[in-house]
Structure 1
Amino acid sequence: MSTPTLVTAQGARNITDLPKALLLDFGGVIVASEKPNGWQRVVAEAIVDLAGAAAVPPIDRICADVTAGAVAAGQWRNAMSRPLRPAELAQTTFVMDFIAADWTESQRSAISPHVAAISYRVSTAKERRTLRPGIRELLGFCRENGIPVAIVSNALSGQVHRDFLAEEGLSDAFSAEIYSDEAGVRKPNPDFMLMGCEAVNMPPEDCWYVGDHLDRDVLCGTRAGIGRNVLMPSPHAATHPEVFGIEADLITDTPASLLDLMKEISDDLR
């Protein structure tokens, strides 16, 4: 296998064509995330507010179950990096089976109408998100050069991502936002990546996909026949399973570095 190219501010000399469309992961590429301390209690308090204190277990028990559920869901997601076409973990399954599996039937019934709201609260509380360096400029370059951009991202609650981008004034930068909880499938399922290609009306070989992990992102792009798979490791990223026989075509540290490469290619093409 060829050695992936580390993209620096000076760019990579062996890449000569711009993508006709760019597909991006959300976490790790558009945003960097840190896990704040005490996020489980924030979620537990939200559950109490939604269902009423008398209808659910004591808050310390809810905190423990939210913690256990998040750990179990993470292990499940790691395991789903292996199958060819994994489905996404439904919000109902996450809340009712990963968090509230051992609650009484009345307690489970009390939170059942609030599955989407609880999932949303988990996603907002568990990660503190900030835009990665250069992402605004990268999106601006793509807009100026007629390169459509779509998001293809695993998510417990894609609505959280949509709301974040709206708050940052970036919603219009994307031709489409495709999230696994809404699509029902998750990376590395190649069908999910092909949804992104269809959204930008380009064949996979004309697209670049940028993600922060080999096991979800590069593997999915490789399975889908993406033209170039770009690995952008993110600070504070969780450890994921090893993937054997799969390598990225390019490795870059930030959107700013990828933009430098694309600008260099653009200059050479003039």
Structure 2
Amino acid sequence: MSRTLIELKSACREESLPRGRSRCLLKDVSFALREGQKVAVFSDFNKSANALLECASEVAPLQSGKVEIRANVSWPLPSRGALEGVMTGRQNAKFLQAVYGTPGEEYEQIARIEELAALEPGCFDQRMKSWGPLMRARFDVAVSLVFDFDVYIISKRFPWSQPARPQLEALVREAFERRVSGKTLLLFHQDEEFLGRYCDEAIVISDCQIAYKGSFPDAQKWFHLNITKSLIEDDSQDQEVEDSSPELIEESPDEVQLW
């Protein structure tokens, strides 16, 4: 039997809301990701799915429960929140290469980041705080495709379709497919075709808990039969919170053309 690479045990995760309130995102979730599995995530609430990815990669803490990681696990790609805005793109790339990169391949991997980001001439050597959000998102995607991990965790912010630049889209797709080939995957994305292309298993999160797990086709069918109505209701409730709390609104480069 294949070994367990990530295991969540009775994981609970909350988010803080204005006026001292909080909201549950994960409630008593137990989940194991084994070597070689390729698991998609369906959810009635995007933030619950994102919380699962963040806790599985240990970029966000649990309120209670435990997560055990027994492999080299990526952050939820393509986000990379720890980059320094006072440093240039090249300096940040060098720092990340020193942490996550392959020894002896510094020049090649940094050049690959610059190629995939497809920034305007000279921008790679400018401070990142001078970049717009789309340039930053493109850099995040490029970084996510260069380094090697045992487990790849992919968030809904991954810009799978970029028809405005078909040649660059083909380059990004080829880099993604080469990077995740033969690896263990945990994916959450709005594009179900994207999920189905890479995953043969899936879980469904409903009411902050794992309500269903099984093959990808069965989980997809269960999700659409049981979750559609509650998904609409939860999105409406979430929009009400965001409308009253501008500080909670985050950019969504997955909904626009990055290139």
- Same fold by TM-score, threshold 0.5 exceeded? no
Which has the greater radius of gyration? 1
Q: Which has the higher strand share?
A: 2
TM-score normalised by the chain length of structure 2: 0.25
Structure with more relative contact order (C-alpha pairs < 8 Å, separation 6 or more): 1
TM-score normalised by the chain length of structure 1: 0.24
Q: Which has the higher helix share?
A: 1
